[in-house]
Amino acid sequence: MVLKMFALAVVFFAASLISVSLYAKEMKTVERVDLGRYIGLWYETARIPNTFQKKCTSDVTAEYGILDNGNIQVTNRCVSKSGKVVEAVGIAKVVDTQTNAKLKVSFVNLLGAQLFWGNYWIIGLDPDYKWAIVGEPSLKYGWILSRTKVIEETELTKIFGVLSEKGYDPSEFVMTKQVIGD
């Protein structure tokens, strides 16, 4: 039941991203992303609250892996209020091959076809790939990702500065609880 609700929420999110991106202002991404360094496991440090992650109460992760066709498999996981692990698997594709910083992601697969692509723009990235900021032009969605469960306060201050430069209000971001395996 939780998985079905999660899938419906993902569909709603994707449709929302598509509609708002039609009217979005241009947002600058990072100059270059080395996808080989970007793939792997990321912990969500904070996010702008959204309906499709409403059931996620803690331990939110995103794991990326490059597929044979060059696309990226995206596996998002979280723990719900009931303690169950909820998982959504999708596909991302690079839409700006000069930077690799603009991607589209879909979690809806119908008969082998991915539907409802949403923006996934890397707008901030630590030089050592310790943290990343993912956003999209409407500023309605945003995520801070880290390679570790806890991010240092000095790094978080830098990240909030980048968010402000990109037009986000950092106070809209809610910190994510990471408790499993502490």
Q: What is the pLDDT of residue 19?
A: 38
pLDDT value of position 13: 42
* Range with lowest mean pLDDT among 11-15, 52-56, 146-150, 152-156: 11-15
- Report yes or no: 169 and 46 within 8 Å, Cβ to Cβ: no
User: What average pLDDT is seen over the chain?
Assistant: 86
For residue 181, tell me if it sits in a domain.
no
Asked if residue 144 is part of any domain, the answer here is yes
Range of the domain at 116: 2-175
| Cβ partners under 8 Å of residue 59, min gap 6 | 77, 78, 79, 177, 178, 179, 180
Residue 158 lies in a domain: yes
CATH number of domain containing 86? 2.40.128.20
Structure confidence by residue, pLDDT tens digits, 147-182: 999 999 999 999 999 999 999 999 999 999 998 665
Residue range 88-140, pLDDT digits in tens: 999 999 999 999 999 999 988 888 778 888 999 999 999 999 999 999 999 99
Would 180 be classed as within a structural domain? no
User: Do the domain assignments include residue 103?
Assistant: yes
The domain tally of the chain equals 1
Q: Residue 17 has what pLDDT?
A: 43
Domain contains 38:
yes
Strands 174-175 and 72-80: unpaired
Global pTM value: 0.83
